[in-house]
């Protein structure tokens, strides 16, 4: 597992634990990490935290490619032992890929997983999904994820689609083979999640370092 230790001095650093799958619904369940982006989007979150609050945050990557909500439930005890101050949960890509027309079982599993992961009400960021395959109904599933998060005072939905470009050409630059994230896509997702973590830690909108994107490739907000 990729482990980002951004605190070597502080005795009690803030611990951010990231679990689940890549938030991109591609045509495969495995999202390989390339040499161009070691650690993927989670490493971007770690670098961003280190720049924002040096030596004060630990970002621990416990994601598993292709993980479902039910599979994550089997690892709950291990995750809770890490004593996270903030949880980042990315689930639904595997279920949507396999059962696009049956979101209800996933909704029940996600709800149960969130209850199990944070029984003491630690802040939990629940990521929405991105459409690696255009024919899959990402919008309705994101609404279901949003509703599950909204039902818990400690959970907050992170709308990744808000920064996803409308134009096919721009989207293509953020996607790699088989509808998965490219290094540029990992950078964009990581920067978005970093901003959400900052807001959870401070309660205010704090600017985060942005991925380097040419001006003509800047994303255009798109609603679901």
Confidence of residue 28 (pLDDT cuts 50, 70, 90): low
End-to-end Cα, the chain, rounded Å: 32
Token pair 């049956």 in the structure block, residue = 102
Query: Could you read off the pLDDT of 85-107 as tens digits, one per residue?
Result: 999 999 999 999 888 888 999 99
| Domains defined for the chain, CATH in brackets | 3-217 (3.40.50.1110)
Per-residue pLDDT, 157: 97
pLDDT of res. 27: 59
The per-residue pLDDT for range 139-158, each reduced to its tens digit, is 999 999 999 999 999 999 99
DSSP letters, 51-94, are HHSTTSEEEEEEE-TT--HHHHHTTHHHHHHT--SEEEEE--HH
Q: What is the pTM of this model?
A: 0.82
Residues with Cβ within 8 Å of residue 215, at least 6 apart in sequence: none
pLDDT reading at 191 higher than 60? yes
């Amino acid at each position: 597992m990729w482990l980002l230790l951004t605190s070597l001095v502080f005795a009690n650093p803030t611990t951010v634990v990231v679990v689940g799958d890549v938030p991109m619904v591609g045509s495969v369940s495995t999202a390989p990490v390339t040499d161009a982006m070691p650690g993927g989007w989670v490493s971007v979150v770690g670098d961003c935290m280190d720049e924002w609050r040096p030596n004060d945050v630990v970002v621990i990557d416990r994601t598993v490619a292709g993980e479902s909500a039910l599979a994550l439930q089997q690892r709950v005890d291990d995750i809770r032992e890490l004593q996270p101050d903030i949880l980042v949960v990315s689930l639904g890509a595997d279920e949507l890929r396999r059962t696009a027309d049956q979101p209800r079982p996933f909704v029940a599993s996600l709800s149960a997983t969130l209850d199990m992961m944070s029984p003491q009400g630690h802040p939990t960021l629940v990521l929405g999904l991105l459409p690696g395959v255009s024919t899959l109904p990402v919008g309705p599933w994101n609404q279901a994820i949003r509703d599950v998060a909204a039902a818990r005072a400690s959970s907050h939905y992170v709308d990744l689609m808000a920064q996803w470009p409308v134009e096919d050409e721009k989207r293509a630059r953020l996607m790699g083979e088989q509808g998965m994230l490219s290094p540029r896509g990992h950078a964009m997702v990581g920067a978005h999640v970093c901003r959400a973590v900052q807001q959870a830690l401070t309660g205010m909108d704090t600017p985060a370092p942005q991925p380097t994107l040419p001006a003509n490739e800047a994303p255009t907000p798109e609603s679901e």
